[in-house]
Structure 1
Amino acid sequence: MKLSELQKLIFDAGIVGAGGAGFPTNKKLSDKTEIILVNAAECEPLMMVDHHIFQKHLHLIVEILNMLLDTMGAKEAIIGIKSKNRYLLNPEVVANMEGTRISVKDIPDIYPAGDEVILTYETTGRIIPEGGIPLDVGVMVCNTETLFNIWKLFNEDTPVVEKYVTIGGDTDRDITVKVPVGMKISDLMTACGYTDLEGKRIINGGPMMGKLVDIENDVVTKTTKGLLIFPEEHEVIQKRLRPMSLTLKRASAACCYCHMCTDMCPRHLLGYDLEVHKILRTASHSEVTNVDSFLQASLCCGCGVCSVIACQQMLDPQNIAMEVKGQLAKLGYRRPSGRKVEKVSENREGRLVPSNVLAERLGLRRFMGKTVTRDMRTFNPDKVYILTRQHVGAPAVPTVEVGATVKRGDVVAVTPENMLGTTMHASIDGRVVEVTNESVVIERLK
C-alpha cells in the first residue's frame, strides 16, 4: 500500500488522536518517520483505557505496527509503557517481538510521562525542538487507542464511531466502557447507574489537565478518555471553578518570587527556554512591555506540575500560562519555534515527579485502589450529537440534511480538502433531526 493511500483511508475513517487534542492521524503519517512511538504511558491518575486495550489487544497493536512500519518505511516501533504496568503485556506476544522491529521500552513512573516531549526523550533520547513536533526528530507518536482504531479500520472496515472511556473517581465502582461517539454524558451516566450526582462534578479527562463537564450539554467525543466524578468541594473541582480574575489577583498578592514553578517545570528541565515564574509575574502584574515572557507560554503543555507540586503558595501558574497561551493563539501570536535544546538540566533526575506523590498531593488516594472492570455492554442512546469539531484544525462541514436516514458508519460531515481536519460518521442508525455548523443530531428510529 502506498503512503498516500493509507493517509486517505485514515482521513476517510475519521481517525484522530484518541487521547489528547485530537490531531488528525493522517497528517502524522510521513515517510520521514524513523521511529513509531506508542504512547502507552497513561500518566494521569485514575485513567485506565490504555491498560485495558493493551491487556486484551496487544497482538492487534503489534499487527498494525508492522503494517505501518512497512508502509511508512520506518526503522522501528517502540512501545513506551511504565515499568510498573509491564504485567499488562501478554508475555507470549512480547516474546514473539524479540528480534523484530518492535520493542517495549520501560519508562519511569513519573508525571507527565505521557507528554510527547517527555515520552520521546525517555524512550529515544531525542529532544523535540522548542515549538516543534516529534517528526522534527524523526518520531511519530501515536496513542494506543488510535492504533486500535486503525486496526479496526483494516480488519472490521469500521470508522471511528465509538470511544473507550473510563468512568471513575468518587464512585463505588470504576469501569471502562465502549460508548457511541456523540452520546450525551448525562445519558451515559444514567445508563451506567451513576445517578447520585448531587453535589458532584465531572471532569472530562484526567484530574490534572481535564475540563469540567457541562452535564446538560456535553457529549462523548473522539478524544474523551475519562469521566471522573468528584465532590464539588474537592480542590480539583474548585480550581476549575475559580475565575481567572481571582487567580491573577492571588498571584499578584502572594507570589514570593521563589521561581520553584520554573525549577520543577518538566519542559524547563529538558532545556526548554520556559520560565513559568516570568509568565506568572508578567501576567499578574500586567507588564505588557515584557513580550518574550508572554510568548514563552506557547511552550507550555499545561501539565500542572507548577501548580500542584511546585508552588508552596498554592497559586495557579498552570492556568495563568494556559490562559496567556490561549489568548496569544487567538491573536495569532506565537514564539518563533525551532530552537534546539543545548543541554538537559543536571537537576532533572532529582526533580522528576513520582506518580504516587502527585496522587497524594491531589488528594486522590481515597479514590484509588479499586478494580477497574471492562464493561462492554452495548449502549443504545435515543439520540447522538456528532460534533463537527472533535479534533485539531478546521471543523467538518455537514454533508447530510434534516430528514435523511443514516446507518451507523455513514459519513455525516467532512473537513474540506487542503484543510487540516477529518471525517465524521453516524454512530447509530437513525434519522437526522438537526444540522448546524456545530453538530449533526441523529435520532434513533423507533
Structure 2
Amino acid sequence: MELIQKIFDAGVVGAGGAGFPTYIKLNCKVEYLIINAAECEPLLETDKYLMRTKNMEIIKTIEEVGKIIEAKKLIIGLKAKYKEEIKQLIYAIEELNSKVELYFLENFYPAGDEQIMVYEITKRSIPSGGIPLDVGVVVSNVGTIVNIYDAMQDKPVIEKYITVVGEINHPSILKVPIGISILECIRACGGTTVENFKVILGGPIMGVLVDNDQIKERVITKTIGALIVIPSDHYIAKRKNASISHIINQAKTSCIQCSMCTDMCPRNLIGHKLRPHRIMRSVGMGECNEKILEESLICSECGVCELYACPMGLSPRMVNAYLKKRLREMGIRYENKQKETIAKKIREYRKVPTTRMISRLDLTKYKEKEIKGPIEVEVEKVCIPLSQHIGKPATPNIGVGDIVRKGQLIGQVKMGDFGANIHASIDGRVCEVSENIVIRSENNEVIS
C-alpha cells in the first residue's frame, strides 16, 4: 500500500508512548480507529495545540488511515473540557464532510491510557497483557496522526512539538529539530527560575527524571512530548529518586494490606488480574510467590496506587517496575489465563479527578501559568539517536565527514523490520557516528 510505504519511509513511530513503528501497527483490519487526544498526564499541552492549529490535517489523515485498515468507526477521544479544540475539530469535520466522530471523556486520570480509552469508547476490556488489536481496535496519538499527514507529503519525522513548563521563565510550546539538547530547549524558554533543578522527560508521573549531571547528554527524540522543570527538592523528585531497597524496606515495615492500591488500580477496574497489595505483601513478607509477582508485568505504571491511593505513602508502582525489569531479564512473559475480561461496575465511582492528582503532586502553580508559542528553535548541532523507538535500532548509511541535508535518510531499517528510519533534522556535516549521529551546521559552507 502506498500510504504504508510512505509511513515507513518517513520513520513514523508512536509519538505519545514507547515509539511503536506505525507502519507495522497499521498492517491490520479493525472495526475501530481511535485517536488518543486526551493528554493523559497533567501539564501537557502539545496535543491540544495540534488540534487547534492542525484540525484539517488531522481529520483528513484519520480518513486516509481509516481506509487502509478498513475501520468502520473513526473516533477522536478527547476531554469534554477542551472547548476550543472541540470547536476546531467540529469545524474541520463539517467542512470535509467527514465521518470522524468525537467522544468526550471526563477529566480523570489516566483517561489517556490507551486501554482505559478503549474501554471508555467501546466498552470492551482488552485482555490482560493484550493490545487494542485483540478487541478490534487501533489506537494512535494525535502527534502520530500529524506525522502521518507529513509522510503523505513525503516529509520525514525530523521535528517535534514539545511542552516546556514548570520552573521556567517563559513556559512554551516549542517546535524543535529531533536531536536538540534539553538545555537548548530550556534556554529557548528563557531559562529556569531556580538554580537547582531536575528535568522530567514526558509527563510528571510516568516521565523519566533526569539529574543535573545527565542533562547535557539528553536530547529530544520522536517520543518525548514534554520537558517539566522542577526544583531538586520537589516531592516528585524525591519519590523518583528513592532507591528500590528503600522502597522494599518501606513495604516490609509499613504496608497495612488495606488493598486501596488494588481497589483504585485502573487496570484492575477494567478486569485485569493485577493486585498490587498482593505483590507488596509477597515482596514485603519475602514470600516470593511467582504467580503473584508475575502480575506486575501487566502494570501500566500510571502511579494511581502510590500517588493517590496508598494511605501510607508507599510505592507499589516502583515495586512493579522493578519486578517487571527483573522478570523480563529472566525471560519471563505474562501468560493470561483469564477466560474473559470484564470491567467492574464500581469502576465508574473510582475515577481519579485530574485536578486532585495535580494537587497531590504539588503542581497546581504550574498549571495556572500561561503557555506561549509555538516558538521555532534552530540549533547549530544535533545528536540523533539511532534507537528512538521499540525494536531494532536503525543502521547508519552515512559516515563521519559526510555533508547531509535536512530530511535526508541517515539511518535505515528494512521494510518488515521492527524498527524505524532516522533522518537528518538539520543541514550540516556528520561529526560522529556511533549509537548516535551527531551533525554540526556549517553556516559558512555551501551545502550542495
The TM-score range, normalised by the shorter chain, is: over 0.9
Counterpart residue type for residue 333 of structure 2: R
Q: 1:432 to 1:241 in 2, by over 3 A?
A: same
Query: Does the 8 A contact of 1:434 with 1:442 survive in 2?
Result: yes
Query: Does the 8 A contact of 2:265 with 2:304 survive in 1?
Result: yes
Question: Alignment RMSD, CA only?
Answer: 1.6
Match of 2:31 among 31, 34, 43: 34
- Correspondence 1:215 to 2:215: yes
Match of 1:299 in 2: 298
Counterpart residue type for residue 115 of structure 2: V
CA apart distance, 1:249:
0.9
Match of 1:425 in 2: 423
Structure 1 residue ranges without an equivalent (≥5): none
Query: Does the 8 A contact of 1:52 with 1:374 survive in 2?
Result: no
CA apart distance, 1:281:
2.2
Q: 1:339 to 1:96 in 2, by over 3 A?
A: farther
Match of 2:446 in 1: none
| Whole-angstrom distance in 2 between the partners of 1:195 and 1:171 | 4
Match of 1:56 in 2: 53
Match of 2:105 among 100, 103, 107: 107
Counterpart secondary structure, 2:215: coil
Counterpart secondary structure, 1:198: coil
| Whole-angstrom distance in 2 between the partners of 1:212 and 1:65 | 34
Counterpart residue type for residue 372 of structure 1: I
CA apart distance, 1:197:
4.7
Q: Which stretch of the first structure deviates more once superposed, 85-94 or 102-111?
A: 85-94
CA apart distance, 1:441:
1.0
Question: Which portions of structure 1, spanning 4 or more consecutive aligned residues, are displaced by more than 6 angstroms?
Answer: none
| Whole-angstrom distance in 2 between the partners of 1:95 and 1:69 | 18
| Whole-angstrom distance in 1 between the partners of 2:131 and 2:141 | 15
| Whole-angstrom distance in 2 between the partners of 1:338 and 1:53 | 41
| Whole-angstrom distance in 1 between the partners of 2:193 and 2:275 | 43
| Whole-angstrom distance in 2 between the partners of 1:283 and 1:298 | 15
How big is each residue's C-alpha offset from its partner over 1:311-351, in whole Å with a ceiling of 9 and x where there is no partner? 01001111110111122122221111374544321211111
Match of 1:138 in 2: 136
- Correspondence 1:167 to 2:164: yes
Match of 2:319 in 1: 320
Q: 1:43 to 1:97 in 2, by over 3 A?
A: farther
Question: Counterparts of 1:84-233 in structure 2 under 5 Å?
Answer: 84-89=81-86, 90=88, 91-96=90-95, 100-155=98-153, 157-213=154-210, 214-233=214-233
Match of 1:381 in 2: 379
Counterpart secondary structure, 1:334: coil
| Whole-angstrom distance in 1 between the partners of 2:66 and 2:380 | 41
Q: 1:197 to 1:338 in 2, by over 3 A?
A: farther
| Whole-angstrom distance in 1 between the partners of 2:337 and 2:391 | 21
| Whole-angstrom distance in 2 between the partners of 1:292 and 1:166 | 40
Counterpart secondary structure, 2:286: coil
How big is each residue's C-alpha offset from its partner over 1:419-441, in whole Å with a ceiling of 9 and x where there is no partner? 311101110011111111x2111
CA apart distance, 1:94:
4.2
Q: TM-score, normalised by structure 1?
A: 0.95
Counterpart secondary structure, 2:84: helix
Query: Does the 8 A contact of 1:359 with 1:365 survive in 2?
Result: yes
Structure 2 residue ranges without an equivalent (≥5): 444-448
| Whole-angstrom distance in 2 between the partners of 1:375 and 1:101 | 30
CA apart distance, 1:416:
4.5
How big is each residue's C-alpha offset from its partner over 1:186-210, in whole Å with a ceiling of 9 and x where there is no partner? 1221233215552111100111100
Q: 1:357 to 1:340 in 2, by over 3 A?
A: farther
| Whole-angstrom distance in 1 between the partners of 2:80 and 2:330 | 42
Match of 1:443 in 2: 440
Query: Does the 8 A contact of 2:35 with 2:77 survive in 1?
Result: yes
How big is each residue's C-alpha offset from its partner over 1:45-72, in whole Å with a ceiling of 9 and x where there is no partner? 1100001000111111000111112222
Q: Which stretch of the first structure deviates more once superposed, 11-20 or 30-39?
A: 30-39
| Whole-angstrom distance in 2 between the partners of 1:429 and 1:336 | 48
Query: Does the 8 A contact of 1:397 with 1:416 survive in 2?
Result: no
Counterpart residue type for residue 92 of structure 1: Y
| Whole-angstrom distance in 1 between the partners of 2:53 and 2:21 | 25
Counterpart residue type for residue 392 of structure 2: A
Q: Matched residues, percent identical?
A: 39
Counterpart residue type for residue 331 of structure 2: G
CA apart distance, 1:93:
2.2
Match of 1:251 in 2: 251
Match of 2:413 in 1: 415
Query: Does the 8 A contact of 1:132 with 1:338 survive in 2?
Result: no
CA apart distance, 1:173:
3.1
How big is each residue's C-alpha offset from its partner over 1:110-163, in whole Å with a ceiling of 9 and x where there is no partner? 1001111100011111211111111111111000010001111213x2100001
Counterpart secondary structure, 2:133: helix
Counterpart residue type for residue 260 of structure 1: M
Query: Does the 8 A contact of 2:405 with 2:426 survive in 1?
Result: yes
| Whole-angstrom distance in 1 between the partners of 2:119 and 2:270 | 9
Q: 1:236 to 1:341 in 2, by over 3 A?
A: farther
- Correspondence 1:434 to 2:432: yes
Aligned length: 438
Counterpart secondary structure, 1:325: helix
Counterpart residue type for residue 349 of structure 2: G
Match of 1:12 in 2: 9
Counterpart residue type for residue 166 of structure 2: G
Q: 1:153 to 1:208 in 2, by over 3 A?
A: same
